[in-house]
Every structure is written in structure tokens, then in C-alpha cells.
Amino acid sequence: PPHPSTSSLERSIMQTSLVFRRLQSKLERFLLATVGWALGPRRIRRRLALLLIPIALLISSITLLPPADYLPQGNLNFVLWLTETFPGTSVPEAIELSAPARAFLKQQPEIANTFFAHFPQFHGIGISLKPESATGSGLAAMEQRLMGQSFSYPGYKFMFPIRFPIFNDTGKSFEVQIIGPDLNQLNQLEQQLIQQISALPGVANARSNSINGAPQLQVIPDRTRLAEVGLSESEVGAIVEAALGGRFASEFVDGKEELDITVQLQNVFVKTPEQLRQLSLYSSEIPRPASAGGSMTASATAPVSNGGQVQLADVATVRETTGPGVINHVDLERSTTLTVSLAPDAPLGQLVNQTETQILDPLRRKLPPEFRVELAGSADRLAETVTQLASAFIFSVLITYLLLVALYRSFLYPLVIMATVPMGLTGALLSLVVANWIPGVIVPLDMITGLGFLILTGVVVNNAILIVERVLQLQEEGQKYDEAIYNATRDRLRPIFMSAGTSVLGMIPLAIFPGQGSELYQGLGIALTGGLAFSTILTPTVVPALMALLHDFDFRPQK
């Protein structure tokens, strides 16, 4: 006797099969009734009305289309709480400053590990979550929690958390480059743009790569005094450089290793501005002090008592000031770069357009000709990738059409078949729109999702090929044109539903099931599932209506 669990499984399969057969039967009757309606009286109007349905849906889906994005971010289990201290802060001081923030992190039950990271231009605290919390929503919640704490600790220019993506560049940030000759005006433009861009909805933060306020010592030579003692500005500069950090003299090659040779002053240690002012400079033109038995006129008196040497303060002014820690360049021109980070649900394409039209375009009209403001980073890469995808899509449609022309030896029947491509695109777009209406679900139109539109080009035409081929076959057997269209649709409905149904059901897990890496391919699965399902329902009605219109307007080609 069969095992009880086996009979239960068989009953479940039979019940599921019965449900699908009933749905398929009802859908077949509805579609055949629609085709019969299109072939009835006033058929031209009916066929045109039937064709208006996919056209209207295509237009509406384009208007509701989510903005373009670049690449998905992924759920990498790592968050960096980025910090920038004020210029002149040492590494031990930076570690000490981070103590309150690290104490806060230890109180968070979701965090597994933390560490302090030091980079040349900024510091940060690295965070990884426990496996049960390292999900997309868990990482996003931790990022928002850290953002709320970022203004609670003194001693920092800024603090904000960033999530590291799976790809090197996901498009969750873009850059604005400000190029011009004057550093002061560059800094003014930088602060102005930071305020304006940060006010846009969807912008998490905007930061600059310039480092201002770095403590500096300026040595301003007195050319008159230098001439009196016989020193030049370049000689003074070389001595100051050798006293502070060493002056590069040459390069020594030891096998494959290259070593820099630097010249440093012996037994001279300059650590404070006062020590720099007391730096001794020697010159043969400085008169030595007179001997005990000799005499010296007042006009020949040495400038200092040591004779033969002077201090730097005697021939130059040492001024303590602040200035840029780094001067960046783009194409050999001075520049500063703003990095604009976006919120997780903010689309890159929309924010780039808003920044361009609302902020940068009005600013360009006011700038002097020697200044430029340009978008860079992911903004450029997004535009380039969209152009490449559009070109690839057009090329794939053209190749498919020319192949069908060669097979059918006709230019019109392949057009009927290719009409299913917009229906597939409509289904893909509408499925993305509906998915984004679900609370808590964000499915961006990124470049991986865009690949689904390319794949649909070669998939959705298969159903139309079945109908067109059957119509031509029945015509050759002697059936009238309208009769051949109706019978061909009836004969091909079951094979169409069987092939498309298995494909759609096979892709549903790709579209809806969560899991590791699901955020990478979820949009692709939704686009393919929605596009194929939508075109499968519309193809048995739109293709017969188009073929009937060819006959009505006497455009029917001979095979």
C-alpha cells in the first residue's frame, strides 16, 4: 500500500494542477472571445481599439517609471563611521577622541566587532554586525542610528557612517568638480554648493576633499637684508627645507630598489616656530668681528655679534598662519571636489538631474569664465552606461528583425512579431512600478535590471512566432484569412501557456525570495517575470489584430 505521505503529496499535486487547468481554461476562453470580437462587425475599429490598450499601457508605464540607478549596493557586513578631525590632530589624539563613540558602539547588541582605522586624510571606526543582524534592513537601521549620533561628539569637523558596497562604485554617490585659479573663491563656491546640495531630498551628506585650516609657517624673506648679507632667496629656502624635513638631493639605485637621498642639517632640530626663527644662516660676505688689536669703522659693523652668520629672523619674517593642507588639480588646474552621498532609497538619476538643473546651471551663468563646475564620478558613468544599454537594445531589436525577415522573406510579418517587444517592456516597467508600491520594498531601475530588457527582446517574440507561423500554415491549407487567424490562435494558446507558464514560475523565486545576494538580481527577476507574463497575455490578442489589419488595408505580403 502507498505510504500516507505519498498519497497526500499526490492529492496536493492533483489539486494544484486542477487549479491551474481551470485558470488556463478561463483565460483561453476570454482571449478567444476577444479575438472573435476583433474579427466581428466593425472590425477595423475594434482592432484599432484593441491595439490602443498596449499603447496606453506603454505610455503610462513610462510616466510611472522609477528613476535610473547605477549598480545595487548589496549587503556587505561592514559599516565605517567616518570621522575627520581638525588639522594638526595626531593619531593618538584621534584615538582618544573616538573613545566616547567606541563606548557607544559597545552598548549596541547587534554589533559583533569594531576597530579604529587611520588614513592620511581621515579616520574612522569600522563596524561589523552579528550574522542575524547583517541584513539589508539591519545594516540600514544601524547606519541611521549612527547618523543620529554623529553630532554628539566634540572635536570633529564631521562624522557620518557609510556602508561599503559589493561593487567598487554602486552609484550611491556622485561628484561635483569646481575648477578655477583662485583658492579663496574655490572655497567659497565649495561651501555654497555644500549648503545647496545638502538641502536636496535624498542627499545624505556632501563633503569636500579639500583640507583647509592646516597650520602653516610662512617664511617671508626681506630682500634688502638678504642683499646686505649676500644671501639669495633660493639659498634661504634650501636651508629651511633641510632644517625642517630634509631636502631631496638625488636618487640611489640599489639593484631594483630606488632610494631617495636627502640632505639634513646636522645637530639642528626645529620643532617650534621660535627655533625656526633662530636658525643660523652662514655667508662669506658677512664680516667677522674685529680682533682685539684691530679697529673697525661704524659703517663696517657686523649685522650680528657672531660675525659670518645671521639668524633667519634677521633676514626674514616667520609668520604662523593656516592654509590648505592639499591643493588638488584636474587637468593641471586647481580644483576641489565635492562627494555627494545619497540615501539608500534615493535614485541617482533623479538627484543628478536635480543638481544639474536646480543648482549647477544657475551657478554657471554667474561664474567668471576661468571657473568651471562639472559633474563627475557615478554621474558620468551612469550616463555612459545608459547610452551603451540603449545602443545594445536597439542593435538586438534590429538583429532579431533582420533574422525574421530572412526567415519569412517578408518585411511586414516580422513587424507583427516585433510588436510584442514593446508589450514585454511594458510588462517589465509595470512590474517594477508595482513592486516599488509595496511598503518596505525598493527595486531600483539599475543597470543589472536593465539587462532584463535586453533578454526580453529575444524571449517575448517566441509566442508571436508560433501564432504567425500557424496562420500562414492554415492559409496554405485553404482557410480564409479571418478563419485562419482565429483557428491559429486557438491552436497555439495551450503551447504558449505551457512554455511561458513554466518560464514565469521558474523565475518567481528569483524575483520574490529573499536571501544572500538577492538584492543584486531581484530587479532582473521582476523585470523578466513581469515582461514575459504580460506579453503572454497580450500576444494572443494583439498579434491576431495586427495581422487582420494587414489584410484589411491590403498590406498582406505574399510568402
- Which CATH superfamily does the domain covering 23-71+382-552 fall into? Multidrug efflux transporter AcrB transmembrane domain (1.20.1640.10)
Q: What is the pLDDT of residue 227?
A: 86
Residue 404 reports pLDDT greater than 80: yes
Q: What is the CA radius of gyration of the chain?
A: 37
- What pLDDT band is residue 6 in, cutting at 50, 70 and 90? low
Q: Does 304 have pLDDT greater than 50?
A: no
Confidence (pLDDT) at 156: 80
Q: What is the pLDDT of residues 312-347, one digit of tens each?
A: 888 899 888 766 666 777 777 888 888 888 876 777
Mean pLDDT value across residues 166-173: 64
The DSSP 8-state label assigned to residue 303 in this structure reads: S
pLDDT at residue 357 is higher than 60: yes
What was the pLDDT predicted at 344? 67
- CA-CA-CA-CA torsion sign (101, 106, 112, 117): positive
* pTM, entire model: 0.64
Architecture of domain 215-288+306-323: 2-Layer Sandwich (3.30)
Cell numbers standing for residue 547: 495581422
CA distances to 397, 416, 470, 480, 557 from 410, rounded to whole Å, are 16, 11, 16, 20, 7
Identify the CA nearest to 338 among candidates 189, 199, 202, 201.
189
Instruction: Give the integer Cα–Cα distance in Å for 314 and 205.
Output: 49
Supply the pLDDT for residue 169: 58
Give the model confidence (pLDDT) of 497-542 as tens digits. Answer: 888 888 888 888 888 876 556 677 888 889 999 999 999 888 888 8
Give the residue with greater pLDDT, 237 vs 73: 237
Contact 161, 150 (CB under 8 A): yes
The C-alpha cell at 202 is: 535624498
- Given this model, what pLDDT does residue 343 score? 76
Instruction: For residue 455, list its beta bridge partners.
Output: none
pLDDT tens, position by position, 409-444: 888 889 889 988 888 988 898 888 888 888 767 777
Spans of all domains in the chain: 23-71+382-552, 75-164, 215-288+306-323
pLDDT at 287: 64
What mean pLDDT do residues 35-53 have? Answer: 80
More confident residue, 291 or 342: 342
Residues found in the chain: 559
pLDDT tens digits, 439-455: 767 777 888 888 888 88
Fold of 75-164: Alpha-Beta Plaits (3.30.70)
Sign of the Cα torsion 357, 362, 363, 367 reads positive
pLDDT at 398: 92
Block residue for cell numbers 659693523: 301
Query: Do 23-71+382-552 and 215-288+306-323 share a fold?
Result: no
**Residues 176-198: what's their mean pLDDT?**
88
- Cα separation of 290 and 298, whole Å? 12
Q: Which residues pair with 116 in a beta bridge?
A: 125
